[in-house]
């Protein structure tokens, strides 16, 4: 390997930064798509179905974020980069994005807990 590429981190480390926001985005899209599909039908009691779907999506997203956090905090078997500062920076940013995405997942699920599901405006 040439000397010019010795300090470059693998693409996987950069992509790891985007896992937490991708989990949040998938949760947001799944919740709103489920609500659009469930509430599009004839008026019935959709509240229980939607509440369970949001609960399951939220639990799955939070579980994925916890797994990401644990794997980020766990010391890996990988070869350390030439400078320890880069590894610590990636770890801190990944954890920060996991916490922000976790709060986004909870924020997305809150309306289902406090507002009526599939209600139409008067």
Lowest model confidence (mean pLDDT) among 1-10, 38-47, 48-57, 107-116: 1-10
pLDDT > 70? residue 122: no
Domain ranges of the chain: 14-74+84-114
**pTM (predicted TM-score):** 0.78
Mean pLDDT value of segment 38-55 = 77
Give the pLDDT of residue 121: 45
Instruction: Find out whether 117 and 41 touch, Cβ atoms under 8 Å.
Output: no
- The C-alpha angle 48, 49, 50, rounded to 5 degrees, equals 95
Give the pLDDT of residue 78: 54
């Amino acid at each position: 390997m040439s000397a010019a590429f010795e300090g470059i981190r693998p693409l996987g480390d950069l992509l790891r930064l985007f896992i937490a926001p991708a989990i949040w985005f998938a949760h947001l899209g799944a919740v709103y798509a489920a609500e659009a599909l469930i509430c599009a039908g004839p008026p019935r009691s959709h509240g229980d179905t939607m509440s369970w779907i949001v609960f399951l999506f939220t639990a799955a997203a939070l579980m994925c974020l916890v797994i990401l956090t644990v794997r980020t905090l766990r010391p890996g078997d990988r070869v350390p980069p030439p400078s320890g500062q880069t590894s610590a920076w990636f770890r801190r940013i990944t954890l920060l994005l996991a916490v922000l995405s976790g709060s986004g997942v909870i924020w997305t699920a809150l309306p289902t807990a406090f507002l009526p599901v599939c209600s139409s405006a008067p």
